[in-house]
């Protein structure tokens, strides 16, 4: 697809500044976890774009999926529950020459972190947010999450979930995200295309990933998705059509779409903020007086 085509080299690479690869820390996820496919796709996307590891920061919150920054050889920040987005925004505004990627799960991002998620999209901050959506709380051993299926029996809902599940794609479209996609960790090649396209996109990029929890979710399994997902790229979908994207986002049942739902160019927060227009804050003078002079004002 055009929006996720292979990009030209965006920064020089030398032996001193290698591109992102695997770190020395091995993933600790359960064997067969869908998150293995996600970390592979992020690594492959960054290698395709040839972005040096010194220019990449991966941020996460709390959850099984939020361990992802540990497993790649970039800069990383493992934050607190639901706060990966404001951390990523702060890093981006401190130095918007960096490639900033936020990662997490459906509980971290759509539960406690939902407010941050919405407002970052509204601002159109230039960063990429990848969620590993397994429709369950995996780290805390199997409670219902914001995306758990209606009627699903979990540890916290033994008679079935009675709350309607949140639709991350529809929420992203309504909140102003300018790149909205969904992938499946069982198709790493397709997911890599989506992640690479999101990193290249100038604006807030959201990639929701069906990433099955093989330990606690026996409903939304790899087989469940393999039997249902179809690619928007082969269906004639126009990713510039917001109304069509909304219609596709509501599809759930025997057929579930994955791929690029929507992409549009719009000025980013960094483009509109006067201070950031001058250049990255990290390169600007702090403008502080001597320490003694500052203290004198408070005495």
Q: What is the DSSP letter of 72?
A: B
What is the pLDDT averaged over residues 84-99? 95
Q: Residue 82 above 80 pLDDT?
A: yes
Q: Residue 9 above 80 pLDDT?
A: no
Q: Residue 279 above 90 pLDDT?
A: no
pLDDT tens string 200-234: 999 999 999 999 999 999 999 999 999 999 999 99
Q: What is the DSSP letter of 280?
A: -
Domains of the chain (ranges, CATH numbers): 32-296 (3.40.50.970)
The closest alpha carbon to 104, from 165, 63, 53, belongs to 63
Could you give the angle at which helices 188-200 and 35-49 cross, rounded to 10 degrees? 50
> Which pTM does this prediction carry?
0.89
CA atoms within 13 A on the CB side of 177: 29
What is the pLDDT averaged over residues 79-89? 94
pLDDT tens string 144-162: 999 999 999 999 999 999 9
CA atoms within 13 A on the CB side of 32: 9
Structure tokens given for 127: 């960063």
């Amino acid at each position: 697809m055009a929006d996720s085509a292979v990009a030209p080299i965006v920064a020089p690479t030398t032996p001193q500044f290698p591109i992102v690869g695997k770190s020395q820390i091995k993933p600790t996820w359960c064997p067969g976890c869908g998150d293995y496919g996600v970390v592979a796709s992020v690594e492959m996307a960054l290698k395709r774009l040839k972005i040096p590891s010194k220019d990449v920061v991966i941020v996460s919150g709390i959850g099984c999926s939020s361990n992802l920054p540990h497993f790649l050889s970039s800069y990383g920040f493992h934050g607190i529950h639901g706060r990966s987005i404001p951390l990523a925004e702060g890093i981006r505004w401190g130095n918007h020459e960096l490639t900033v990627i936020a990662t997490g799960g459906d509980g971290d991002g759509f539960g406690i972190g939902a407010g941050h998620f919405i407002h970052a999209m509204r601002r159109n901050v230039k960063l990429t947010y990848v969620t590993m959506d397994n429709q369950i709380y995996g780290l805390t051993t199997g409670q219902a999450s914001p995306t758990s299926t209606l009627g699903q029996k979990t540890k916290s809902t033994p008679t079935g979930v009675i709350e309607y599940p949140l639709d991350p794609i529809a929420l992203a479209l309504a909140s102003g995200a300018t790149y909205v996609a969904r992938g499946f960790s069982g198709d790493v090649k397709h997911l890599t295309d989506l992640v690479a396209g999101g990193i290249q996109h100038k604006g807030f990029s959201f990639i929701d990933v069906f990433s099955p929890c093989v330990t606690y979710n026996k409903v939304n399994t790899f087989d469940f998705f393999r039997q249902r997902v179809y690619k928007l790229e082969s269906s004639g979908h126009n990713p510039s059509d917001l109304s069509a994207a909304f219609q596709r986002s509501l599809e759930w049942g025997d057929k579930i779409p994955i791929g690029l739902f929507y992409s549009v160019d719009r000025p980013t927060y960094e483009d509109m903020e006067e201070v950031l227009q001058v250049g990255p804050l990290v390169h600007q003078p702090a403008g502080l007086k001597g320490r003694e002079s500052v203290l004198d004002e408070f005495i």
